[in-house]
């Protein structure tokens, strides 16, 4: 073996090979030099730290991750500029018109006095709403139609999404999804016309029954069947739109879970029950809360087109009632008061449904703190 070389430190030389200054031992001089260097460093660090503290105070409190809001604004300035047109449209068409709700507290005259000249009457318009028995009948009828659509319409997109998810062929699945989604682009005028040609008194189904010796029928003018009719129309028109949301949620499910369940002996139905449906629960809870929040926002055009066929007793909803008794007769103060009541009622429905979602262990619209 080679002998190990022994290196003896020279006290008279520094680390770079230069001779140490004479006049004292290297250890003492090193301590003095180190103390001086620390003194200079502390002074310079204090000055630099003070400047940094002043800059941080001007920039504002740091955001999560140590980035100030100015840095975030500079970094995301392109995205901010892209969202400015959408924010402007939202302010112009959604928030600025809210100032017009002041007419709910006025005896509003749209033709002569306007908002600035109409007399202030307080809560008189709201008192008229609560004393109007017809208003409460319309409100109950609106909720009945909503509950019918919630029971018949809401589960169908989930079922269609589950069926499409089991189709292995990508081409077949794309064709089925396109066919189901296509009616979403039809107007309500076209949808009502199609149903009239199919289920009306002179429709195809009625004519076929007459040709085979049966009595015809007219579902389009049957008041008792109206809530089921509008639910069927909503299913045919908008079920494909809901399928997209649930298919997107199904695409995020880890395929390893299906493989593990199959290895454990789970069949197709048990995999759907224990893997697929739990993955859809957050999305289902969120959409259900939003659906409950829009309980009073049924399709105005759909109902108005069929209002005269079945009569206002069965088809009148809150929107058509406000249009008929408020806007059409010129009583804008009453219509504005009914609109405010509708908004407050919808907010209460959202908060209540979200509370139920929290009780069931779901996040809902916002998380529980």
The pLDDT tens digits for 175-227 are 888 898 899 999 999 999 999 998 888 888 888 888 887 777 788 888 888 99
Residue 369, helix vs strand vs coil = coil
- H or E element that contains 365: none
Residue whose tokens read 């007793």: 313
182 and 239 Cβ atoms separated by less than 8 Å: no
Query: Long-range contact list for 176-184, CB < 8 A, 24+ apart?
Result: 177/240, 177/243, 177/244, 177/247, 180/239, 180/240, 180/243, 181/240, 181/241, 181/243, 181/244, 182/240, 183/236, 183/237, 183/238, 183/240, 184/237, 184/238, 184/240, 184/241
Q: How confident is the model at residue 61 (pLDDT cuts 50, 70, 90)?
A: low
Question: Average model confidence (pLDDT) for the chain?
Answer: 80
The torsion angle over the Cα atoms of residues 231, 237, 239 and 245, rounded to 10 degrees, is: -130
pLDDT for residue 276: 85
Q: Is 278 exposed, middle or buried (0-12, 13-18, 19+ CB in 10 A)?
A: exposed
Strand-pair partners of 19: 13
Q: How confident is the model at residue 362 (pLDDT cuts 50, 70, 90)?
A: confident
Task: Give the whole-angstrom CA distance, residue 295 versus residue 289.
Answer: 10
Residue whose tokens read 């500079």: 74
List pLDDT tens digits, range 259-313.
888 888 888 888 888 888 888 888 888 888 888 888 888 888 899 889 888 888 8
List pLDDT tens digits, range 129-171.
888 888 999 999 999 999 998 888 888 988 888 888 887 778 8
Range of lowest pLDDT (60-64, 276-280, 338-342): 60-64
pLDDT for residue 60: 52
pLDDT for residue 195: 92
pLDDT for residue 88: 94
pLDDT for residue 228: 92
16 and 1 Cβ atoms separated by less than 8 Å: no
Residue 360, helix vs strand vs coil = coil
Task: Give the whole-angstrom CA distance, residue 343 versus residue 338.
Answer: 9
């Amino acid at each position: 073996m080679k002998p190990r070389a022994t290196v003896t430190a020279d006290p008279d030389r520094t680390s770079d090979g230069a001779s140490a200054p004479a006049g004292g031992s290297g250890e003492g001089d090193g301590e003095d030099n180190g103390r001086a260097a620390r003194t200079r460093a502390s002074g310079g660090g204090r000055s630099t730290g003070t400047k940094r503290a002043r800059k941080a105070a001007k920039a504002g409190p740091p955001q999560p991750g140590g980035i100030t809001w100015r840095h975030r604004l500079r970094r995301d300035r392109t995205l901010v500029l892209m969202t400015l047109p959408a924010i402007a449209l939202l302010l112009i068409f959604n928030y600025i018109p809210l100032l017009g709700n002041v007419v709910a507290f006025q005896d509003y005259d749209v033709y002569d006095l306007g908002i600035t000249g109409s007399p202030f009457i307080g809560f008189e318009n709201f008192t008229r709403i609560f004393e109007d028995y017809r208003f409460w009948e319309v409100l109950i009828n609106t909720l009945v139609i909503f509950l019918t659509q919630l029971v018949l319409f809401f589960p169908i997109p989930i079922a269609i999404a589950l069926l499409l998810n089991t189709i292995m062929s990508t081409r077949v699945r794309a064709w089925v999804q396109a066919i189901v989604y296509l009616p979403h682009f039809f107007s309500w005028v076209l949808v009502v016309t199609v149903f009239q040609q199919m289920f009306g008194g002179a429709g195809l189904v009625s004519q076929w029954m007459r040709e085979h010796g049966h009595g015809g029928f007219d579902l389009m003018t049957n008041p008792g069947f109206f809530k089921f009719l509008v639910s069927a129309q909503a299913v045919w028109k908008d079920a494909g739109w809901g399928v997209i949301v649930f298919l997107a949620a199904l695409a995020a499910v880890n395929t390893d879970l299906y493989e593990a369940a199959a290895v454990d002996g789970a069949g197709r139905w048990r995999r759907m029950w224990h893997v697929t449906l739990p993955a859809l629960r957050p999305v289902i809870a969120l959409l259900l809360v939003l659906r409950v929040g829009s309980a009073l926002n049924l399709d105005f055009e759909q109902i108005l087109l069929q209002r005269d066929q079945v009569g206002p007793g069965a088809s009148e909803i809150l929107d058509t009632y406000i249009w008929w008794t408020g806007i059409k007769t010129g009583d804008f103060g009453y219509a504005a008061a009914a609109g405010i009541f509708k908004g407050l009622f919808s907010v209460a429905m959202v908060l209540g449904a979200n509370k139920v979602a929290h009780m069931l262990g779901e996040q809902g619209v916002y998380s529980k703190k």
